[in-house]
Structure 1
Amino acid sequence: MGSEPGYRPVETVETALEIVALLKRRDRAGVTAIADELGIAKSTASRHARTLEDQGVLVREGEAYRLGTWFLDYGTYVRNRQPVFEAAKPKVDELAAATDEKVWCVIEEHGVGVHIYGAEGRHSVRTHARVGRRTPLHQFAAGKAILAHLPDERIGTILEERGLEAATDETITDRSELREHLETIRERGYAINREESVRGVRAVGAPIRSDSGDAVTAISVAGPANRLRGEVLTEELPALLLGATNEIEVNLAHS
């Protein structure tokens, strides 16, 4: 991204976004801390923070700034305009009730997976996944299901730009191994995550495909490794997921 001939990033926009990202990581910070961490002048940090506050993006509490709810409106708008959201939401809820596990709907954007909706079953376990979280596609079931059903050139671009960072010792970090793994996913129609994103957690993911066969969305069911094993992991959950995603695909095709 941003590699077009003659392209030059707007530094003031970059700085503003770096401040937003910093406050997300740290929860809150004062001007001095912002300036020190970003390596900019204190006066520059102050002008950016005050401007963002004036626009409603940041909230000042004493000498510190934090993110405001300005982002909530935009995030909700973006999610609701996703064509798959309304079609997938009821099926995600149904799967959570049927499996008693955590179920997610994930889309691909800029080469990463973005969690746009989740539902909890009675025995759901808590992980770092949340609405809006952005995760490398190769690290989790829904992401691998999407990656396997993208055009080969797109897969190559994503791997080149994003790399294969490990989340756990089980994450696939070798390109050749991942390519073979993606071929298996394409053949059987679903992906399995064997503690590749979170230790002790397994998942099954299935893509929601367009008429061309490509996928930019997937649904996954995740739970503790001691529950998601044997036929539950390799037969029961895949059958439920494939039935749900097929129904969503039909509904989208005729909406």
Structure 2
Amino acid sequence: MPTEDTPNGASVGSTERSFAILEQLAAEQGSGVSALAETLSLSKSTVHNHLQTLRKLGYVVKNGDEYRLGLQFLGLGDRARQRHDLYHVAKPETDSLVEAVGERAQVMVEEDGVGIYVYQSLADQAVRTDSHIGTVVDLHATAVGKAYLAHLSDERLDAILDRDDFAEQTPNTLTDTEALRTELDEIAEQGYAFNDEERTVGMRAVGAPILADDDDRVLGALSVSGPTTRMNGSWYHEEVPEMVAQSARVIGIRATYS
């Protein structure tokens, strides 16, 4: 994705291809040269050359005819997460919330218009999905994302919504801008957001913003996710929102004064 630091939005094709290969390896948890070439519409020689360079640098390893991501990414990912102060102050409170709710909780920060999970904690009975630390999520389709959006300045919110394509991830995903804005107004008033099978069928979530205690800047968001079989009734609509919002407030206070 071009950034402000890239002259005239220019990009380096070779770098883009390397990252396309890495992302495909991550998605498939390993692949061969032929499969990568076909999926990415690249020649086998191009894919092979990129893989050999990445392997030499330690970011790709080979097992037989299959390539997969190297463990060197663990160090990069951990250093990227460690730079977020929110991760450090949110971890203990998020773990306590998971003990109380018995589901899964995640802490999200926004970067370049998308949400990224910087921490996740799971109870023994929690349902495991494709989300994990480092997962990138669309803000409009998640409880954490909507809770975050609802507390942005009008200018920042407009900038994000204008570039979001509002992809439909399930039949329940909000894809209309005006409908989303209406819901964001309600979220800002009540202090928490719901995700009713909007990202994953069969899963619901409750999210709340993490606000700086001194000036109400939104720092990120916290959510609890669980299956529709357990996240329902007054537990889902009243009790969980109260617990999530309280934990988010504690994290915001700690983030402000730590």
User: What TM-score do you get using the length of structure 1 for normalisation?
Assistant: 0.93
Query: Which residue pairs with 1:219 in the alignment?
Result: 222
Distance 1:41 1:168 in 2: 34
Query: Which residue pairs with 2:2 in the alignment?
Result: 2
Give the unaligned 5+ runs of structure 2: none
Give the unaligned 5+ runs of structure 1: none
Distance 2:150 2:122 in 1: 26
Distance change in 2, residues 1:41/1:105 (3 Å):
same
**Amino acid across the alignment from 1:131:** I
Query: Which residue pairs with 1:173 in the alignment?
Result: 175
**Aligned counterparts, 1:54-69, within 5 A:** 54-69=56-71
Cα deviation for residue 99 of structure 1 reads 1.1
Distance 2:118 2:193 in 1: 19
Partner residue of 1:35 out of 18, 34, 37 = 37
- 4+ long deviations beyond 6 Å: none
Q: Which moves more between the two structures, 47-56 or 36-45?
A: 36-45
Work out whether residues 96 and 103 of structure 1, in 8 Å CA contact, stay in contact via their aligned partners in 2.
yes
Distance change in 2, residues 1:48/1:175 (3 Å):
same
Q: Which moves more between the two structures, 1-10 or 112-121?
A: 1-10
3-state SS of 2:194 partner: strand
Partner residue of 1:78 out of 77, 80, 104 = 80
Cα deviation for residue 123 of structure 1 reads 2.9
Q: Does 1:243 align with 2:252?
A: no
**Amino acid across the alignment from 2:224:** V
RMSD, aligned CA:
1.8
3-state SS of 1:192 partner: strand
Query: Which residue pairs with 1:50 in the alignment?
Result: 52
Query: Which residue pairs with 1:253 in the alignment?
Result: 256
Cα deviation for residue 226 of structure 1 reads 3.1
User: What TM-score do you get using the length of structure 2 for normalisation?
Assistant: 0.92
Distance 1:35 1:127 in 2: 28
Cα deviation for residue 206 of structure 1 reads 0.6
**Amino acid across the alignment from 2:28:** R
3-state SS of 1:29 partner: coil
3-state SS of 1:6 partner: helix
User: How many residues are matched?
Assistant: 255
Cα deviation for residue 3 of structure 1 reads 6.7
**Amino acid across the alignment from 1:124:** A
**Amino acid across the alignment from 1:163:** D
Distance change in 2, residues 1:99/1:107 (3 Å):
same
Cα deviation for residue 42 of structure 1 reads 2.8
Work out whether residues 208 and 218 of structure 1, in 8 Å CA contact, stay in contact via their aligned partners in 2.
yes
